[in-house]
Amino acid sequence: MIRTRSTLAVLGLLAAAAARLAAADETCQSPYLPKLVGQEDFVYVWTLGVDGLGDGSDKLVTIGANPARPDYGKVVSTLSVGGRHEAHHGGFTDDRRALWIGGLDDSAIFVLDVASDPAHPKLVKTIRDFSAKSGGVVGPHTFYALPGRMLITGLSNAKDGGGRTGLVEYSNQGDFIRTIWMPAGAEYGYDARVNADLNRMLTSSFTGRVNYMRPLGELLKDAAAMKNFGNTMVVWDFHTRKPLQTLAVPGAPLEIRWALQPEHHYAFTASALTARLWGVFRTPDGRFEAVDLAPIGDPSKAPLPVDISLSADDRHLFVSTFGDGSVHVFDVSDARQPREVLVQKIGGQLNMVSESWDGRRVYFTSSLLANWDKSGPDGEQFLRAFDWDGKALAPRFAIDFQAERLGRPHIMNFGALGFYQGRVAGGATGAPGGGG
Partner 1 sequence: MTRRIARAALAAVALAGGGAGAHEIAPPPAPPAYALPTPGSYELPAISRVPDFTLLDERGAPAPLLGLASDQVAVVSFVYSRCTGGQGCPLALATFQGLDRKLAADPALAGRVRLATVSFDPANDTPERMAALRERLRPAADWRFLTAASPGAIAPVLAAFGQDALPLVDERGAGLGLFRHVLKVFLVDASGAVRNVYSAGFLSPDLLLVDARTVLLESGHRAALAGP
Catalog residues that contact partner 1 under the rule CB under 8 A: 1, 4, 9-15, 17-19, 21, 31-32, 34, 37, 94-95, 97, 146-149, 169, 171-173, 175, 177-178, 196-200, 237, 239-242, 311-313, 358-359, 419-436
As measured in angstroms, the least distance from the Cβ of 418 to partner 1 is 10
C-beta pairs of 242-247 under 8 Å, 24+ apart in sequence = 243/182, 243/183, 243/186, 244/200, 244/287, 245/287, 245/288, 246/183, 246/185, 246/186, 247/280, 247/288, 247/289, 247/290
Q: Based on CB atoms, which residue is closest to partner 1, 13 or 220? A: 13
Kindly state the smallest distance separating residue 102's Cβ from partner 1, in Å.
Answer: 20
Q: Which is nearer to partner 1, 59 or 200 (CB)?
A: 200
| CB neighbour burial string for 51-68, b if at least 16 within 10 angstroms, e if fewer | eebbebbbbbbbbbbbee
Sheet strands (E) in 361-407: 361-365, 382-388, 393-400
Which is closer to partner 1, CB of 377 or CB of 432? 432
Closer to partner 1 by CB, 219 or 416: give it. 416
**Cβ closer to partner 1: 397 or 420?**
420
- Taking the least distance from each CB to partner 1, the nearer of 19 and 291 is 19
Distance, CA of 214 to CA of 210 (rounded, Å): 6
CB of 69 to partner 1, least distance (A): 16
Exposed e or buried b per residue across 349-359, where buried means at least 16 C-beta atoms within 10 angstroms of its C-beta: bbbbbbbbbbb
Counting every residue written for the chain, the total comes to 436
| Other beta carbons less than 10 A from residue 264's beta carbon | 16
Residue 70 CB, nearest distance to partner 1 (Å)? 19
What is the closest distance, in whole angstroms, from the C-beta atom of residue 5 to partner 1 in the complex? Answer: 11
Q: Which is nearer to partner 1, 357 or 386 (CB)?
A: 357
Sign of CA dihedral 365, 335, 153, 178: positive
Least Cβ distance, residue 165 to partner 1 (angstroms) = 19
CA distance 420 to 255: 29
DSSP assignments along 127-162, one per residue: E--HHHHTTSEE----EEEETTEEEEE-SEETTTSS
Q: How far is the CB of 394 from partner 1 (least distance, A)?
A: 20
- Closest distance to partner 1 from the beta carbon of 185 (Å): 21
Cβ 336 to partner 1 shortest distance, Å: 21
Nearest of 332, 352, 351 to residue 340 by alpha carbon:
332
CB nearer to partner 1: give 72 or 420: 420
Indicate the residue among 311 and 349 with the shorter CB distance to partner 1: 311
228 and 234 Cβ atoms separated by less than 8 Å: no
Could you give the CA distance from residue 361 to residue 344 in angstroms, rounded to a whole number?
A: 15
Nearer to partner 1, 97 or 396 (CB): 97
What string of DSSP letters covers 154-190? -SEETTTSSS--EEEEEETTS-EEEEEEPPTT-----
Shortest reach from residue 142's CB to partner 1, in Å:
18
